[in-house]
Amino acid sequence: MRRRIFLASAAGALAGEAVVRTLHAAQASDSPEGRGAARPGIALAADDIAAFPAPPAGFDEERRDIARGSVAEFSYASAVTGTQRTARVYLPPGFSEKQRYPVLYLLHGIGGNQDEWRGYVRANIILDNLLADGAMVPMIVVMPNGRALADDRVPPAQKMFTPEHIAGFAQFERDLLESLVPAMDGAYPTLAQRGKRAIAGLSMGGGQALNFGLGHLDAFAWVGGFSSAPNTRPGAELLPDPAAAARRLQLLYLSCGKKDGLIGASQGLHRYLRQHGVRHVWHVDEYAHVRESWAENLYHFSRLLFR
């Protein structure tokens, strides 16, 4: 069976269109079918099942009759790259400087940038709809560029999996903790404490969210990985003291599609957590590595945050 990884192009995300393309050129060295397919085949266990029913129809479609949040551009100085870097910031409808808000950091995939969650997954529409229904806590959502390189543009397909490009995603750990979070807390009325800070991401960003969130439970109490990529560290490395981590976590949320060739990373972590009695959400949906899974998981995850 052919399985491929599709990535949103930044141009498509910017245009608000779901432009997808394959990465065959970058993956040719692994196998004719691409990197995702070079992983062992998908084997599902009895507990690899959905934790939630599907969201209601239209959950990610614009509604005309509701108040909308806004998406601002935020520029911050990065101590890692030495450059000014750009993040998108979603502010909920009715946002007021006189209030303080919890914050979700939302990270994109290997072919995305700060516009992927908004343009490709329509995160702001999903959040507007949830807020209109009173189904989530109002929060600020930061969508950074998770590629901490001086040149953080989406590279051409043949450079997508180079060590330099992958390293940019790892280097974002310091950029996030030392530059972006303090800059956000300085510029916006955030609740600047671990219990009011969440991190989640899709694919490469899912691996980042798990690595950085679980690696810094002093900074984050709510952590989510959607379709997390093989950059996800093994459970024993992420949670060497599972009981201590479990006490600090407000929410650990893992999801993946049962047709996603990358599911092994999430299954491995889920099984480690189960074995060590660490409470978590494990949501396996029907999808491959596609935006529908990320849209639905943002919906499910956001409803649980900061409760």
With the C-alpha atoms ordered 74, 191, 231, 267, is the resulting torsion angle positive or negative?
negative
Q: Is 189 in the site for ligand FER (CB under 6 A)?
A: no
Residue from 189, 230, 242, 268 that binds ligand FER (CB under 6 A)?
230
| Matching residue, tokens 């998406």 | 71
Stretch that binds ligand FER, among 125-133, 181-189, 223-231, 269-277 (CB under 6 A): 223-231
Q: Burial level of 83, CB count in 10 A (0-12/13-18/19+)?
A: middle
Q: Is 204 in the site for ligand FER (CB under 6 A)?
A: yes
Pairing relationship of beta strands 251-257 and 140-143 according to DSSP bridges: unpaired
Residue from 37, 166, 191, 304 that binds ligand FER (CB under 6 A)?
166
Query: What is the rounded CA–CA span in Å between residue 267 and residue 230?
Result: 12
Which x/- pattern over 108-137 shows residues binding ligand FER (rule: CB under 6 A)? -xx---------------------------
Q: Is 106 in the site for ligand FER (CB under 6 A)?
A: no
Q: Is 35 in the site for ligand FER (CB under 6 A)?
A: yes
Q: Is 203 in the site for ligand FER (CB under 6 A)?
A: yes
Does residue 91 sit in helix, strand or coil? strand
CB of 93 to ligand FER, least distance (A): 30
What is the side-by-side order of every strand in the sheet holding 140-143? 70-77, 84-91, 140-143, 103-107, 197-202, 222-226, 251-257, 281-285
Q: Is 149 in the site for ligand FER (CB under 6 A)?
A: no
Chain residues binding ligand FER by CB under 6 A are 5, 7, 35-36, 109-110, 166, 203-204, 229-231, 262
